Structure 1
């Protein structure tokens, strides 16, 4: 993090990224002294409510973060920033988005946790739009002009006031990751599954070291003292109450429970009761330390695509094991009326053999389990996510695949990613194809 003193003293000359979080109430004009090099500007965590009308003087500015400020309207000056592709205004008070505020090259827009009731039709006139984060607003509809956004791959519309998913949304050719939980349109979670989940009293848990923290909660290692006095090592996830980019953390917890048991899902042991602060949480199987993430999160440059280490390679056997395991897990979820919504390499844990676990249900949504066209479309959108994953795996298999196997897998990838949503195979067929290899 940089300081205002550094900026004013001219010590930051030539930098490409500036991070300032120091209670700012006004935009520091000294930022314009960096115009020749500045590409990423992060002003999150301040008290700003406006930006200067001449912001376009930052001619190289590609990325702007202004989350956790006091904006009530998306600044119109953004639309004049010719190089700006990513705009992030999470957790403000934004109730209005003027069409003029949308940069012409807009690729990634984050308006999570604001007060939006509508969006301008101009949003659909941004052909580069690839990632759209709108969870935690008051939207009752989406602009129909978005049906022109044929590059849109990820959209988060959880925790709004939508009563239906527009038909055009389910036909977008590139849509791959969709989260819509917490809207009136969503099917209810399986109440029987939630009710049947064992309750584990907080007093029976002894927390050890923290294993990790994400947007929805904190995971720690713990010892669980069972009724017979034996100790079982487990993982405990305590959920936060805050809105995440995907949606509600408590909805994520319900999805984890409703998903049930599967060899390629992290096993849920029970739900925590009796926490002194009434915090919600789950007790889960402790993952062997030999498991690690398949990939890293998308970067500012890759936008909606995971980042893999340059030297990441897989044997044919490992790649096939991953593909089979994740396809099986996805099929299981669909049978429970759940779309994962975030089927990505960074949400997959695996070991050297290719044994894998699909985690992170933050973007999961419930849907009907019938064979209605909407259900089929929702599931085939997730099939495209599997196709993207399969392509990433194939790109990193150097040897071990016969020509026949590679051609068959490449053909499967193409079918999963084809523009015709309903023309894609279901996971039952995908599993059958993989089984023959």
Structure 2
């Protein structure tokens, strides 16, 4: 993090990224002295409510973060920044998004956790739009012009007030990751599954070291003293209850429970009862430390694509094990009326043999278990996510894959990713193809 004193003293000359979080109420004009090099401007965590009309003087700025401020609208000056591709205004007080505020090269827009009731028609006139985060607003609809967003791959509209999914949304040729939980349109979670989940008293848990923290909660290793007196090592996830880019953490908890048992899903032991602060949480199977993440989160540059280690390589056997396991888990979820919404390498844990677990249900949504055009389209959108994953695996297979096997897998990848959503195979057919190999 930089300081205002450094900026004013001219010590930051030549930098490409500026991070200022120091209670700012006005935009520091000294930032313009960095115009020749500045590409990323992060003003999150201040008390700003406006930006200067001549913001476009930052001619090299590609990325602008203004989250956790006091904006009530996206300033129109933002739209005049010719090089700007990514904008973040999460957790402000925004109720108005003017069309002119959207720059022509817009690729990634974050408006999570605001008060937005409608979006401008201009949003559908941004041909490079690839990633759109709108969870936690008051939207009742999306502009019909967005049917032209043929490059849109990821959209988060969870926790809004939408009563139906627009039909055009389900036909977008590139849409791959969709989260819509917490809207009136969503099918309810299986109440019987939730009620049947055992309650585990907080007093029976002894937390040990923290294992990780995400947007929705904190995961810790713990010892669970069961009724018979035995001690079992488990993982405990305590949910934060705050709005995330995917939606409500409590929806995530419901999806984890409703998903049920599958060898490629992390087993839920029970729900936490009696936490002193009333916090919600789950007790889950403790994952063997030999498991690791398949990939890292997308970067600012990769936008909607995971980042893999340079030396990440697989044998054909391991790659096929991953593909089969994840396809099987996704098919199981669809049978329970759940779309995962975030089927990505960074949400997959694996060991050296290719045994794998699909985790992180933060973007999961419920749909009807009956077969109709809408549920089929929702499921085929997720099939495209699997196609992307399959392509990433194939690009990293370094041994053991015969030419004819590669041809079959590349053909499967193409079918999963084809632009005609309903022409993609379902996961049962995907598994059939994988089993032939």
Instruction: Indicate the residue corresponding to 1:132 in structure 2.
Output: 132
Instruction: Indicate the residue corresponding to 2:367 in structure 1.
Output: 367
Instruction: Indicate the residue corresponding to 2:423 in structure 1.
Output: 423
Gaps (5+ residues) in structure 1?
Answer: none
- Partner-residue secondary structure (3-state), 1:222: strand
The CA RMSD over aligned residues, in Å, is 0.3
CA distance in 1, matches of 2:264, 2:398: 25
CA distance in 1, matches of 2:52, 2:216: 34
Q: What are the superposed Cα offsets for residues 182-220 of structure 1, whole Å, 9 maximum, x if unpaired? A: 000000000000000000000000000000000000000
Structure 1 residue 310, shift from structure 2 partner: 1.0
- Partner-residue secondary structure (3-state), 1:208: strand
Q: What are the superposed Cα offsets for residues 44-63 of structure 1, whole Å, 9 maximum, x if unpaired? A: 00000000000000000000
- Partner-residue secondary structure (3-state), 1:253: helix
CA distance in 2, matches of 1:291, 1:18: 36
Instruction: Indicate the residue corresponding to 2:72 in structure 1.
Output: 72
Structure 1 residue 5, shift from structure 2 partner: 0.4
- Output aligned runs, 1:150-169, within 5 Å: 150-169=150-169
- Output aligned runs, 1:218-237, within 5 Å: 218-237=218-237
CA distance in 1, matches of 2:289, 2:191: 34
Aligned structure 1 segments of 4 or more residues deviating by more than 6 angstroms: none
Structure 1 residue 345, shift from structure 2 partner: 0.1
Say whether residues 1:95 and 2:90 are aligned partners: no
Aligned residues: 437
CA distance in 2, matches of 1:204, 1:236: 12
CA distance in 1, matches of 2:197, 2:95: 40
Instruction: Indicate the residue corresponding to 1:399 in structure 2.
Output: 399
CA distance in 1, matches of 2:425, 2:275: 45
CA distance in 2, matches of 1:162, 1:100: 25
CA distance in 2, matches of 1:118, 1:230: 55
- Partner-residue secondary structure (3-state), 2:36: coil
CA distance in 2, matches of 1:146, 1:399: 43
Instruction: Indicate the residue corresponding to 1:118 in structure 2.
Output: 118
Structure 1 residue 388, shift from structure 2 partner: 0.1
Instruction: Indicate the residue corresponding to 1:436 in structure 2.
Output: 436
CA distance in 2, matches of 1:48, 1:84: 20
Instruction: Indicate the residue corresponding to 2:388 in structure 1.
Output: 388
Q: TM-score, normalised by structure 2?
A: 1.00
- Partner-residue secondary structure (3-state), 1:74: coil
- Output aligned runs, 1:19-418, within 5 Å: 19-418=19-418
Structure 1 residue 241, shift from structure 2 partner: 1.2
CA distance in 2, matches of 1:387, 1:129: 21
Structure 1 residue 399, shift from structure 2 partner: 1.8
- Partner-residue secondary structure (3-state), 2:270: strand
CA distance in 1, matches of 2:359, 2:399: 28
CA distance in 2, matches of 1:235, 1:399: 36
Q: TM-score, normalised by structure 1?
A: 1.00
